[in-house]
A and B are shown apart, each in its own frame.
Chain A
């Protein structure tokens, strides 16, 4: 890896800080939208956490996933920490998958988000509704769980470009020497 000049280092720190500030501002905006009004809404924080996991390391992704999960717990009135555990685990896993096996493409992001959002919705249905064995509980799965999952997937199309824009402008590009590039390929 090429050695960076002090100026380049300063720019890198500035861009990284700004990128994370923007990430978290978007997360807070998603949380506020989720807690407004009376209509059924997508779990915006799931695609947001996935976007961050696609282009960042495992630890940063896990911590962000945990934070997003805590906000989901507050917005959805769930046991504090429940969604945090789920999203911290999935974010670390997704980050690792993108580092080792997947390329950061929209299609990969989409199916990963679909899988994680479905897991989150399904676990929510299992632990908060079906476990109590209430009458007509399958109605909740049809009219709430699947609808929320569908809305979340639609919202994923809108959230992805926002995070990609932040990444394109502020994510540091890896500079390699010619030798490193040849070795890598």
Chain B
């Protein structure tokens, strides 16, 4: 052992460790951009990861079908009954009108945002390994105009924000994560507002949490929550999710709600990144106020 500690090999090892620590420190200072080493590996492995992820998802789906065949059968029977019921409801004009109104809420959001500059649809390359908050990587990067802290959406609603941008691959932090806070307001009342932030427990259920809610709020289950747009990180009035259940914080001073995202974040195949919108915070400001 003493011989080893005195050897050149040991000095080279120390040098290597120092170099790696240097890389780590350099990565911290990059402000959301991947270091070139990671960028090269990401670019080289991108096609393999895309193919392998496709195969992996198919295998998982097949095993899932076999494993839960009985559940699916029961669900199928239940859905058939529901379809019958819905067919009856379709004849009812009032119900149809309500449904149209619900859909209109989403259409209005799109109509009211002609200012959004969005990328082409980005393929989801895969989910970050073992991340309980469902972060994932997409097949677009800085060469496609993506910058760190850009909102990531689907037509249904907000998904998350870009955090680690390399040339052709970007990592997305989702709204299930406690590290992302989104100011939200109720679409129906417009008065009930709070902060949507993931927690360990809600993330396990693919839901997120609305906190800092006034105790005398008028929210009810099923209400749609949309972005308030006052942070400059997210466009105003974009759908986030619906209220699943209401409750109070442990301190009893404020209310909270479990929010079911409009998008099934655990099963995404493609998303879109909003690169610019009215009221967007400048890059320098965004860096200082990163979520």
Q: Which residues of A contact B (CB under 8 A)?
A: 28, 31-41, 43, 57-59, 62-63, 66, 69-71, 73-77, 79-82, 84-85, 88-89, 92, 96, 100, 132, 134-137, 139-140, 143-144, 148
Contact = CB atoms under 8 A, between A and B. Distances in A.
Contacts of B148: none
Nearest to B126: A35
Interface in B1-41: 1, 4, 9-10, 12-13, 16-17, 20-21, 23-24, 26-28, 34-35, 37-38, 41
Given A32-B52, A43-B130, A81-B20, 11 more contacts: A31-B45, A35-B45, A36-B55, A36-B56, A37-B53, A77-B129, A80-B23, A134-B178, A135-B199, A135-B201, A139-B200
Interface of B: 1, 4, 9-10, 12-13, 16-17, 20-21, 23-24, 26-28, 34-35, 37-38, 41-42, 45, 48-49, 52-53, 55-57, 59-60, 125-132, 135, 137, 164, 171, 178-179, 199-201, 204, 266-267
Contacts of A132: 178-179
B131 A77 contact: yes
14 contacts: A32-B48, A33-B52, A35-B125, A36-B53, A36-B55, A43-B129, A70-B37, A71-B41, A74-B42, A77-B135, A81-B20, A84-B23, A84-B24, A132-B178
A143 B204 contact: yes
Given A135-B200, A140-B132, A148-B130, A38 B57 contact: yes
A38 to B, nearest CB: 5
Contacts of B28: 79
The secondary structure that dominates the B interface is helix
Contacts of A100: 1, 4
